[in-house]
């Protein structure tokens, strides 16, 4: 499987996103967790969508462990819940505008209240909660026009995985802004959902906390994705080990 995670120190990711934002380049940012990795492994078309992104942050702690195990890369975790507040802070500081696309109207209303309190100088270009169904071609054209007319530097996309990554890839070249698909990070950042304790984040157990909060919705997903993730990484580890041994024996 080919999965183009971006590498580098945590401190480099937000500045790279802000550079795209300042230029209003039509681009997209994916925040990759284990769920996204497994979805991409199952669906090759989705894998292409992810790999076409300009930046793919390694959100899940298990992904950083896999990078070290398989490739010897010591990579910082770059979680959506961590970089979203920094993006909003930088936009406020640099007077860049933000558009929020996706989520329920209630979520957007709560977001508006939160931003007024925490980032009072932040310029919000607009917010839009789309219908909870597949949009028509005409509707997508109208949405692209609505966003472009508002001329935001950044579009925060809140549609959930894998819908938000597919939408951002589809709109690349149509929307003249950087689109950052944050998924479930927004409810955590604005305080609707409580984030796992720091020790669970560091230990790669944040999913256990989320499961305890939403057991009915997440049990099946985690049971399948976590098992498949372990299988994929273990298989790749064995494949690389056998390949290295084969090369060694050939040389001998």
Q: What is the pLDDT of residues 33-74, one digit of tens each?
A: 888 999 999 999 999 999 999 999 999 888 999 999 888 999
The pLDDT of residue 219 is 66
Dist CA 204 CA 71 (whole Å): 19
Q: Which CATH architecture has domain 10-195?
A: 3-Layer(aba) Sandwich (3.40)
**Mean pLDDT for the chain?**
88
Task: Report pTM.
Answer: 0.87
The crossing angle, in degrees rounded to 10, of helices 215-251 and 61-71 is 10
For 147-159, the pLDDT digits (tens) are 999 999 999 999 9
Are 129 and 123 spatial neighbours (Cβ–Cβ below 8 Å)?
no
Query: What confidence category does residue 226 fall into, taking pLDDT thresholds of 50, 70 and 90?
Result: confident
Query: Which residues neighbour 92 within 8 Å (Cβ) at sequence distance 6 or greater?
Result: 119, 121, 122, 123
What is the mean predicted confidence (pLDDT) over 109-132?
95
């Amino acid at each position: 499987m080919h999965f183009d995670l971006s590498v580098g120190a945590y401190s480099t990711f937000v500045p790279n996103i802000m550079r795209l934002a300042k230029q209003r380049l039509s681009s997209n940012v994916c925040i990759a967790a284990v769920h996204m990795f497994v979805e991409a492994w199952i669906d090759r078309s989705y894998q292409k969508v992810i790999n076409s992104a300009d930046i793919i942050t390694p959100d899940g702690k298990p992904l950083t462990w896999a990078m070290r195990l398989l490739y010897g890369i010591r990579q910082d975790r770059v979680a959506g819940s961590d970089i979203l507040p920094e993006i909003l802070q930088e936009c406020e500081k640099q007077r860049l505008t933000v558009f929020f696309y996706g989520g329920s109207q209630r979520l957007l209303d709560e977001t508006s209240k939160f931003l007024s309190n925490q980032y009072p100088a932040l310029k919000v270009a607009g917010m839009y909660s789309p219908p909870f169904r597949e949009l028509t071609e005409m509707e997508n054209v109208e949405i692209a026009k609505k966003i472009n007319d508002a001329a935001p530097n950044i579009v925060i996309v809140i549609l959930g995985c894998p819908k938000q990554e597919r939408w951002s890839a589809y709109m690349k070249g149509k929307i003249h802004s950087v689109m950052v698909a944050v998924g479930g990070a927004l409810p955590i950042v604005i305080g609707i959902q409580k984030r796992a304790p720091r020790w669970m984040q560091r230990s790669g157990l944040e999913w256990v906390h989320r499961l305890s909060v939403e057991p009915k919705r997440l049990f099946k997903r985690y049971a399948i994705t976590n098992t498949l993730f372990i299988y994929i990484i273990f298989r790749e580890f064995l494949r690389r080990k056998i390949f290295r041994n084969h090369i060694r024996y050939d040389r001998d």
